[in-house]
Amino acid sequence: MTDQYNNYYAGKTVVITGGAGFIGSNLAMELVRLGASVSLIDNMMTGHGGNLANLSAIRDLVTLNVSDVRDEMSLEYFIRNGDVVFNLAGQTSHMDSMADPFTDLKINTEAQISLLESCRRHNPSARIVFASTRQIYGRPSELPVTEEHRLEPVDANGINKMAGEWYHVLYHRVYGLKTTSLRLTNTYGPRMRIKDARQTFLGIWIKSTVQHGEFEVWGGEQLRDYNYVTDVTHAFLLAAAEDAAIGKIYNLGHHEVVSLAETAKALVGVAKTGTYRVCPFPKERKSIDIGSFYSSYEKIKSELGWVPRVKLSEGLSRTLDYYADGGLERYL
Amino acid sequence: MTDQYNNYYAGKTVVITGGAGFIGSNLAMELVRLGASVSLIDNMMTGHGGNLANLSAIRDLVTLNVSDVRDEMSLEYFIRNGDVVFNLAGQTSHMDSMADPFTDLKINTEAQISLLESCRRHNPSARIVFASTRQIYGRPSELPVTEEHRLEPVDANGINKMAGEWYHVLYHRVYGLKTTSLRLTNTYGPRMRIKDARQTFLGIWIKSTVQHGEFEVWGGEQLRDYNYVTDVTHAFLLAAAEDAAIGKIYNLGHHEVVSLAETAKALVGVAKTGTYRVCPFPKERKSIDIGSFYSSYEKIKSELGWVPRVKLSEGLSRTLDYYADGGLERYL
């Protein structure tokens, strides 16, 4: 497929924080294909997305630096020469954020300030694209959720990501940094964390299905939209290449809106194995249940021409193939 | 004056974080008058509001503990037995927050999580009232600003206070803590920091006027509302005493809406001394200029019956008297 950024990345120096993680590694593979020089920064923290298995196809074609974004010296070394910074390092688990809001704050807010300060001081003209999340909207008051929707996060992760995103807006407005934020919805695909639900509930659903097991669907009626990972990496590549995206915030999303129960049905249908059981939403998680959520992606469609290309059934099929083809054990 | 909480505080144990500061010390004086047992926690950090001069009238009637809210052990000791926690510790300087967003984050977000965690673990039934700020709204898109207005902070302080406020909402929704947040507008009165503009620009205006000097008015056309400090302490006392306030966020504000130039004129008029000079808004601060701001206090008026009682001219007069009557040097 031809994209408008196809020549943009050849010869460019690109830094990806959280580069050994799910989206970061998929993005790195695309960038290698496009001829960019790619450095991945990842702290490889246990319980997060960083996994060497994600990089097996490009291990010799990229630089992997194991360090934390809050390591100022190390970060400066990479930032100084970066044309583009894809800022994906983050903590994504809602439960972890409630169990330890301090660590979540350090990763999702403090580390973001570190990165922005480093760019401001050492490379103010770099393009920066930040992985934000629909989680900051909280429980929607109207659907689909546009970028104008109020931010009412329902967990510590949402609060800290909201603050991290606003720092990207602030550093654009005050210092002129060329930042863009993408508010991701549920992203799935090869290289996602499937060991547990820390990235998305789909992770354990997929693991269970590949293992021919049974998984639980909590509630079941709640509507969701999902993006296959290549649609998400496409959005990142577009956002960094287009001047129209500077200083902006965009939702991602999908026109296929399906209930959790329908999603489960689609998954076991595509897999032709596995089962699921619909059960009530656990009481202790009720306070962070956001009900139905799906977003409007009209803004990024009209301004950057982005639309999701991969249908849910197709994306689920490719994802299951990835883990079924001998990849599963590297993710357990 | 008789207030509905007049009997509520007699015999109650009350903790005030930031208790040696401007609003904290005024609140402590009221609480002592109402018969409460009052502990003040203040880190007395240079450049902040803590000042022993603020406590001269009640020094032997309250407990002052010099410690940081992030000192878990120390905080627990006071929180464990508190019926009410007035959570006023914060960093208020916009310029300082931009120069060092990390320290601002620690004080205005991380320390708030510490306090809430301490309440959750050791005293989940305490009433907690948080001093939030109009700063989190950023540049208003419509006036007067209601609580429904979008939050678009224009500086690091606004982002971090926004996150701190949302933690109070979160800990109410998830853990049932009895929190209330008051979004303060410009507060002035005796015991405010006048050494510099770290609390509000009014500080240096008042200092200059008491010293018969000249102060600068940047812009001049921007509209503002102001609350005299006893109206603000009244709101805190109401919020902690009324069950209707639990889990809520309220704006404070004033029906007198005046431009900066009119404010300056009123100040030197009341003082019968001092002069001011209107000059352009400094270019380097333009990006954090929010234009006109005044808020709607209809919500707290209808739910708690709060209205501001002190007119601007009266409040300025009392403030000038405080600093002119031999109090100035303790604040320089």
pLDDT at position B296 is 98
List, as one string, the DSSP characters of A113-128: HHHHHHHHHH-TT-EE
A328 to chain B, closest Cα gap in Å: 36
Instruction: Please tell me whether residue A40 adopts helix, strand or coil conformation.
Output: strand
- Please confirm whether the linkage preceding B144 is cis (ω < 30° from 0): yes
CB pair distance less than 8 Å for B109 and A163: yes
* Residue in B closest to A162 by C-alpha: B163
- Report whether A137 contacts A145 (CB < 8 A): yes
Determine the pLDDT at residue B49: 84
Q: Are A139 and B138 a contacting pair, CB within 8 Å? A: no
- Give dist(CA A245, CA A220) in Å, integer: 36
Please say if the pLDDT value at position B241 is more than 60.
Answer: yes
Look at A162 and B163 and tell me if their CB atoms are within 8 Å: yes
pLDDT of residue A265: 97
For residue A325, what pLDDT is reported? 85
CB contacts of A155 in chain B (<8 Å) are 170, 174
pLDDT band at B58 (very low <50, low <70, confident <90, very high): very high
Nearest neighbour of A105 by CB, restricted to B109, B148, B150: B109
Helix (H) or strand (E) holding A226: strand A226-228
Q: Is residue B1 predicted with pLDDT exceeding 60?
A: no
The CATH architecture of the domain made up of B13-192+226-256+294-309 is 3-Layer(aba) Sandwich (3.40)
What is the Cα Rg of chain B in Å? 19
E-strand stretches of B146-280: 178-184, 186-188, 214-218, 223-224, 226-228, 249-251, 258-259, 275-279
Shortest distance between the Cα of B68 and any Cα of chain A, in A, equals: 16
Enumerate the residues of chain A whose CB falls inside 8 A of the CB of residue B288. 174
Within 8 A of A174 by CB-CB distance, chain B residues are 98, 154-155, 287-288
Cβ contact, residue pair A173, B160, below 8 Å: no
The pLDDT tens digits for A206-246 are 999 999 999 999 999 999 999 999 999 999 999 999 999 99
Give the Cα separation of B199 and B275 in Å (integer). 21
Percent of chain A with pLDDT over 90: 85
Contact across the interface for A153 and B174, Cβ inside 8 Å = no
**Which of A56-65, A165-174, B22-31, B92-101 comes out lowest in average pLDDT?**
B92-101
What chain B residue is nearest to A173 in terms of C-alpha separation?
A: B287
pLDDT at residue A83 in the model? 97
Give the three-class secondary structure for A84. Answer: strand
Give the pLDDT score at B5. 87
Does A284 score more than 90 pLDDT?
no
Please answer yes or no on whether B162 and A166 come within 8 Å at the CB atom. yes
Task: Assess whether pLDDT exceeds 60 at residue A1.
Answer: no
pLDDT of A19 reads 96
- Mutate which: B72, B107, B113, B177, vs A, most A CBs within 10 A: B113
Chain A residues with a Cβ under 8 Å from any Cβ in chain B: 98, 101-102, 105, 109-110, 113, 117, 148, 150-151, 153-156, 159-160, 162-163, 166-167, 170, 173-174, 287-288
Please check the confidence at residue A280 and state whether its pLDDT lies above 80.
yes
Residue B236 has pLDDT above 80, yes or no: yes
* Residues contacting A273, CB < 8 A, separation 6+: A209, A212
Separation of alpha carbons A197 and B159, rounded Å:
29
Q: Do A163 and B288 touch (CB under 8 A)?
A: no
Q: Which spans in chain A are helix H? A: 22-33, 72-79, 94-99, 101-105, 111-122, 156-175, 201-210, 229-241, 260-271, 298-304, 312-322
In angstroms, the CA B85 to CA A104 distance is 25
Which segment of A191-205, A282-296, B51-65 scores lowest on mean pLDDT?
A282-296
Query: Which residue in chain B has the smallest CA separation from A289?
Result: B174
Average confidence (pLDDT) over B57-76: 93
User: What is the DSSP-derived secondary structure letter of residue A282?
Assistant: P
Mean pLDDT across the stretch A287-298? 90
Q: Report which residue type is found at A174.
A: V
Give B-chain residues touching A288 at CB under 8 angstroms: 174
Asked if A167's CB is within 8 angstroms of B174's CB, the reply is no
Task: Name the average pLDDT for chain A.
Answer: 94
Average pLDDT over residues A46-72: 91
Could you report the per-residue pLDDT of B80-102, keeping only the tens digit for each?
Answer: 999 999 999 999 888 899 999 99
Domain-by-domain residue ranges, chain A? 13-191+226-256+295-310
Question: With 80 as the cut, is the pLDDT of residue A144 above it?
Answer: yes
Ramachandran region, residue B125 (left: φ > 0; alpha: ψ -120 to 50; beta: rest): alpha
Average pLDDT (A95-107) is 94
C-beta pairs of A29-34 under 8 Å, 24+ apart in sequence: A29/A57, A29/A58, A30/A230, A30/A233, A30/A237, A31/A237, A32/A58, A32/A61, A32/A62, A34/A5, A34/A6, A34/A8, A34/A9, A34/A10, A34/A237
CA distance B23 to B40: 12
B100/chain A closest Cα distance in angstroms? 10
| Rounded Cα distance, A140 and A150, in Å | 8
| Chain A residue with Cα closest to B286 | A174
> What is the second-level CATH architecture of the domain A13-191+226-256+295-310?
3-Layer(aba) Sandwich (3.40)
- Which residues, 6 or more positions from A210, have their beta carbon under 8 angstroms from its beta carbon? A194, A271, A274, A320, A323, A324, A328
| Residues B111, B112, B114, B119, CA torsion sign | positive
* Per-residue confidence (pLDDT) for residue A308, from 0 to 100: 98
Instruction: Give me the interface pTM, i.e. the ipTM.
Output: 0.91
Most B CBs within 10 Å: which of A119, A170, A175, as the mutation test of the B interface? A170
Q: Which pLDDT score is estimated for B99? A: 94
Other beta carbons less than 10 A from residue B269's beta carbon: 12
Confidence of residue A55 (pLDDT cuts 50, 70, 90): very high
Structural tokens at position A307: 């639309």
User: CB of B192 within 8 A of CB of B226?
Assistant: no
C-beta contacts of B173-177 below 8 A and 24+ residues apart: B173/A154, B173/A287, B173/B247, B174/A98, B174/A154, B174/A155, B174/A287, B174/A288, B175/B120, B175/B124, B176/B124, B177/B116, B177/B119, B177/B120, B177/B124, B177/B126, B177/B128
Contact A160 B163 (CB under 8 A): yes
Best of B69, B108, B109, B151 to disrupt the A interface by mutation (most A CBs within 10 Å)? Answer: B109
**Confidence (pLDDT) at A2:** 54
Nearest residue of A to residue B103 by CA position?
Answer: A110
The Cα of B102 is separated from the nearest Cα of chain A by a number of Å equal to 7
CA–CA dist B81, B126 (Å, integer): 9
Query: How far is A195 from A331, CA to CA, in rounded Å?
Result: 6
DSSP B263-327: HHHHHHHHHT--EEEEEPPPGGGGGG------B--HHHHHHH-----S-HHHHHHHHHHHIIIII
SS3 B153: coil
Band (pLDDT 50/70/90 cuts) for residue B2 is low
Query: Helices A22-33 and A229-241 meet at what angle, rounded to 10?
Result: 60
